[in-house]
Structures are given as C-alpha cells and as structure tokens.
Amino acid sequence: MKQNAIYLLKGLFFSALIFILAILLLAFLMMKTGWGDSIMYPMLLVFFCLATFTGGRYFAKHAPSKRFLWGILFGTMFFALYVLVTYFISGNDTLLSDHAMTFLLTAVGGGCVGGMLS
C-alpha cells in the first residue's frame, strides 16, 4: 500500500509538471501568434487529458491487476488536486460551477486509457 502511494505521488508530480509546461507553451504561443481565447479551452482539455494519460499510465504500470481502475483513481486524484490548486490560487470556486464535469470526465478518461495501455 505504501508503495502505491509513492507511485501515485510520483505520477501526480510528473502529470502536474507536464500540465504546467503545456500551459506555459500555450501562453507563449497565444502571445506570439495572437490566437484568441477560443483556442484556450480546447487546448486546456487536450493538455489535461495528456497529463492524466501519462500519469495514469505510470501509476497503473506498477499495479498488479485491473490497471484501468488504477488509472481511473489517478484521474480522479489529479482532478481533485487541480480543483484544490485552482481554489487556493483564485480564491473562488468558479471551476466547480463552470466546466467541472467536462474536466472531471477528461481526467478520468485520460487516466483510464493510460491505465489500459500500461
């Protein structure tokens, strides 16, 4: 059990790192190319899915069986971490009211697929 927690924390760290770097790349591209805000939301979903896919694959690779369930667990944990960080940075719960279900399904789906392909 302790080993699973270590793999979960490592997966969360790497996924968060991937997500942060992808957001920085998106911000740079939006600044240099003049893309509007309409491209931001779909790209955030793609980056969110990519991050949870990578982390779910890493976490489930170390699971003994039913790896897709471990991937779903990872996606849920990454979403919870994302909500907590967003809440502490912005100070309000706008994510919980606007697009929470879309981000949750993206995180769970990315983690599940990553777990299945591990």
Is-contact 22 51, C-beta < 8 A?
A: yes
How many Å apart are CA 30 and CA 36, to the nearest integer?
Answer: 7
Is-contact 51 23, C-beta < 8 A?
A: no
How many Å apart are CA 108 and CA 112, to the nearest integer?
Answer: 6
Per-residue model confidence as pLDDT tens for the chain (118 residues)? 678 888 888 989 999 999 999 999 998 988 888 877 788 888 889 999 999 999 999 988 888 888 889 999 999 999 999 888 888 887 776 656 667 888 889 999 999 999 888 7
How many Å apart are CA 105 and CA 37, to the nearest integer?
Answer: 22
